[in-house]
């Protein structure tokens, strides 16, 4: 069954509106009856949770035509419950912020977005408003990431006349946004189809959380239909949802990594990975246990950490200073914009700069982390020609390999190949770390002579 999603203006009295709509449903004019049916759907959206009970009370004592129309609308509520049954467990376990009671907004970032999936010239994005201050706004966006967006800064000149202005936002109707999304079917057919269909299923859940049963049902139905475009065999409804949920699970993993790079607290990151671990089997949950263990370990260290006075740190020996900066190394490297980590004029200097400045005196402490795969906040890339497919959240070991290369002036990969060690394949990061350990064992002996 297809659902009409046409909005009509409604008055503030739900009971009076319903009585008027029911009269139109019994009209002689077929077009008027169809329009009234669409208006009934809009009335249900506007009335919210009470709509279903009110319809059930009115279905007795009406004509067979009107009763059939009411039953059709009640079926939409049932379909909305199917959304919760099919995908609700998945989303509820995923530890995403709830959008119930949240505003859907269109935010003007004031600068173009280079992110995949947005036009380069776009300065606008839609998301759920989680919190705001004068300086920043926190949004849950369609990539399932919680973004902290600045409301102040050097905005692009061409954004000066925008509405809303740079750093500002305007409220949008999520139901209307969903209707536009469903109408523009070409957006799904034009490439990246599986991922865009996964957005449709995400919209179904958000509409469910927002009490938009009709919109939720329509989005779920479209997601089922679109699934058939990307597979060579028919899927039943539940299996189709599983197919889309796997794409959403992949988004959740990517969102956890990107949120780490953007500064989300470790406690929140731990909750994200626990949510991913709770997903049904086959939902890309395999890395979750190691991330859970890693973030629990980092949080234990955080709880015990006592920040020393700056004067004490300045007087400390090289080993103590190296340990200090290696502790902060987990947070200071925050994203790909810091790709040239040893940039001399970067201010203020961070852990990388201080560890490099300590030089060989820091190498023993750095080498001690070459088996430490707990995550930092920096993205690495396995293939610069295909960064979107090979990016990963670097562990301590990745950063320490790079630190050793900088301090010692060597390429660990070249050293490994010269010593008959294989570097490559899916385990190339581990190979580099093992090679760095072998290099240090050899170098340490030479330096001690």
Which residue matches tokens 């900066």?
A: 325
Instruction: Give the end of a domain, one of 155, 172, 189.
Output: 172
- CA–CA–CA angle 21, 23, 27 (5° rounding): 110
Instruction: Tell me whether residue 415 is in a domain.
Output: yes
* The predicted structure's pLDDT at residue 398: 93
What is d(CA 440, CA 43) in angstroms, rounded to the nearest whole number? Answer: 71
Instruction: Tell me whether residue 416 is in a domain.
Output: yes
DSSP 88: I
Overall number of domains in the chain? 2
* The predicted structure's pLDDT at residue 5: 42
Instruction: Tell me whether residue 376 is in a domain.
Output: yes
Domain span holding position 366: 306-448
What is d(CA 237, CA 223) in angstroms, rounded to the nearest whole number? Answer: 9
Instruction: Tell me whether residue 227 is in a domain.
Output: no
Instruction: Give the end of a domain, one of 125, 153, 172.
Output: 172
pLDDT averaged per 10 residues, the chain (length 449): 43 81 86 85 78 86 86 79 80 85 92 49 84 93 87 76 89 93 65 68 91 86 76 58 78 85 89 86 77 97 97 96 96 50 58 93 97 90 50 90 94 89 81 95 86
* The predicted structure's pLDDT at residue 8: 44
Angle (deg, nearest 10), helices 30-47 and 64-83? 40
* The predicted structure's pLDDT at residue 297: 98
Give how far the C-alpha of residue 321 lies from the chain's centroid of Cα atoms, to the nearest Å: 36
* The predicted structure's pLDDT at residue 7: 44
What is d(CA 45, CA 349) in angstroms, rounded to the nearest whole number? Answer: 54
Instruction: Tell me whether residue 138 is in a domain.
Output: yes
> What is the DSSP annotation of 356-403?
HHHGGGGHHHHHTTTT---EEEEEEES-TTSHHHHEEEEEHHHHHHHH
Instruction: Give the end of a domain, one of 172, 187, 216.
Output: 172
* The predicted structure's pLDDT at residue 285: 62
Other CB atoms within a 10 A radius of the CB of residue 59 amount to 16
Element (H, E) at 418: helix 412-418
Q: Are residues 162 and 123 in contact, defined by beta-carbon separation less than 8 angstroms? A: yes
Instruction: Tell me whether residue 254 is in a domain.
Output: no
Instruction: Tell me whether residue 181 is in a domain.
Output: no
Q: Which of 349, 348, 351 is nearest to 330 (CA)?
A: 351
Using only the alpha carbons of the chain, give its radius of gyration: 28
What is d(CA 334, CA 376) in angstroms, rounded to the nearest whole number? Answer: 8
Q: Are residues 184 and 136 in contact, defined by beta-carbon separation less than 8 angstroms? A: no
* The predicted structure's pLDDT at residue 231: 60
* The predicted structure's pLDDT at residue 132: 94
Instruction: Tell me whether residue 332 is in a domain.
Output: yes
């Amino acid at each position: 069954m297809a659902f009409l999603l046409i909005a009509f203006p409604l008055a503030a009295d739900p009971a009076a509106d319903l009585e008027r709509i029911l009269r139109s449903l019994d009209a002689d004019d077929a077009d008027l009856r169809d329009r009234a049916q669409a208006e009934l759907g809009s009335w249900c959206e506007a009335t919210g949770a009470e709509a279903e009970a009110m319809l059930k009370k009115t279905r007795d004592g009406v004509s067979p035509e009107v009763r059939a129309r009411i039953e059709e609308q009640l079926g939409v509520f049932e379909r909305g419950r199917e959304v919760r049954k099919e995908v609700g467990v998945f989303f509820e376990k995923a530890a995403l912020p709830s959008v119930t009671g949240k505003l859907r907004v269109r935010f003007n970032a004031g600068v173009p977005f280079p992110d995949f999936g947005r036009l380069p010239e776009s300065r606008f994005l839609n998301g759920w408003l989680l919190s705001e201050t004068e300086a920043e706004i926190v949004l849950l966006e369609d990539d399932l990431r919680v973004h902290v967006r600045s409301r102040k800064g050097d905005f692009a000149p061409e954004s000066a006349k925008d509405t809303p202005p740079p750093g500002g936002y305007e409220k949008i109707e999520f139901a209307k946004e969903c209707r536009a999304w469903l109408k523009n079917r070409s957006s799904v057919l034009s490439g990246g189809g599986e991922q865009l269909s996964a957005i449709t299923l995400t919209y179904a859940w958000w509409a469910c959380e927002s009490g938009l049963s009709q919109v939720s049902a329509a989005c779920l139905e479209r997601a089922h239909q679109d699934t058939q475009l990307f597979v060579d065999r028919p899927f039943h409804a539940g299996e189709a949802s599983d197919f889309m949920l796997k794409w959403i699970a992949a988004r959740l993993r990517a969102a956890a990594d990107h949120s780490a790079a953007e500064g989300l607290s470790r406690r929140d990151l731990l909750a994200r990975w626990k949510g991913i671990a709770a997903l049904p089997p086959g939902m890309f949950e395999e890395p979750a246990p190691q991330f859970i263990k890693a973030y629990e370990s980092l949080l234990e260290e955080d709880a015990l950490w006592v920040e020393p006075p700056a004067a004490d740190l300045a007087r400390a020996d090289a080993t103590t200073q190296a340990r200090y900066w290696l502790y902060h190394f987990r947070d200071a490297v925050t994203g790909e914009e810091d790709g040239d980590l040893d940039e001399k004029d970067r201010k203020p200097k961070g852990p990388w700069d201080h560890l490099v400045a300590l030089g060989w005196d820091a190498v023993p402490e750095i080498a001690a982390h070459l088996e430490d795969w707990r995550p930092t906040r920096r993205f690495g890339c396995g293939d610069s020609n295909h960064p979107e497919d090979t990016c990963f959240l670097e562990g301590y070991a990745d950063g320490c390999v790079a630190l050793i290369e900088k301090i010692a002036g060597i390429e660990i990969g070249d050293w490994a190949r010269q010593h008959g060690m294989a570097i490559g394949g899916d385990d190339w990061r581990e190979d580099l770390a093992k090679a760095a350990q072998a290099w240090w064992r050899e170098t340490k002996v030479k330096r001690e002579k």
